[in-house]
A = this chain, B = another copy of it.
C-alpha cells in the first residue's frame, strides 16, 4: 500500500529513494484512535508531530464560554501539527472525527531532516505554507461570505483535497462529519447548517445521505462558494536545488 505522506509530497516533485526511505522510517510508529478521541490535547506540549494515515481529524479551539471553532480539517497525508516541531505548545487541540490511524514522528527526527535533507525540509515547509494559505482562505470565507457561500466553498475544497489523495469517486466522497461539527467549522449553528444543506440538496446541487456526499452540479456549486482551488497549490512543483 502506498504511503499517503510520500504521495502527498511527490505532488510537488520527485523524491529520491533515500528521501522516501527516511520518510518511511520516521513514520513507522503508528497508533489508532477512536472517533471523537483527542489526538493532541489543547494546550499540550509535544515531542513529536502527528501524521494522519487514515481517517479524518479536526483541529479546534475553545472559548471560555464553551464555544468551539474548528480551525482545520486533516485528511490522510496531512500532518496535524507539523508546527509543533518548532512551536512546541499547541494552542489548539486535534480530535479524531472518525476512527484514525496516526503516525507519531519524533521532533528529533525532524530536526535531523532540517540538518541533512534541505530539499525535504523545503517540501515539508511548503506543506505548512499551504496550510497557512488554506487558513487565509477560511478567514475570507468566515469574514465575507454568508452561510450558503461558506458551505458551498467548503464542499468544493474538501472535494479537491480528497481528490488529490485519491479519496473521491465521480465528484462524490465520504463525509462522515456531523452537521454540528460542520457548524463549528463554518462559524454557524447546527440548525442553520442543516437548513443550508437542505437548500443545496433541494436545488439539486448536491446529494447527501449522511455518509456520502455527491456534488451534482460542480460548476454551480463552485460559483456559489466563490471557489477557486489555486490556494490549495495542488501539484505545484518546487525546485530541487
Contacts and interface: CB of A to CB of B under 8 A. Distances in A.
Nearest to A150: B143
For the residues of A in contact with B, the DSSP-based class is: helix
A16 interface: no
Contact of A139 (B71, B111, B133, B236): B71
Interface in A224-240: 226, 228, 230-231, 233, 236, 238-239
Nearest to A107: B239
A123 B227 CA distance: 33
A213 interface: no
A154 to B, nearest CB: 12
A74 interface: no
Interface string A183-205: 01111000000000000000000
Task: Please classify how large the interface on chain A is, using the bins under 10, 10 to 19, 20 to 34, 35 or more.
Answer: 35 or more
A64 B135 CA distance: 19
A215 B229 CA distance: 41
A42 to B, nearest CB: 11
A144 B187 contact: yes
Interface stretch (A18-26, A87-95, A168-176): A87-95
A69 interface: yes
Given A91-B230, A122-B114, A236-B87, A69 B144 contact: yes
Contacts of A61: 136-137, 140
Nearest to A136: B71
A128 interface: yes
A86 interface: yes
B121 A83 contact: no
A63 interface: yes
Contacts of A63: 140, 144-145, 226
Contacts of A67: 144
Nearest to A138: B139
Contact of A133 (B87, B121, B144, B226): B87
A131 B134 CA distance: 12
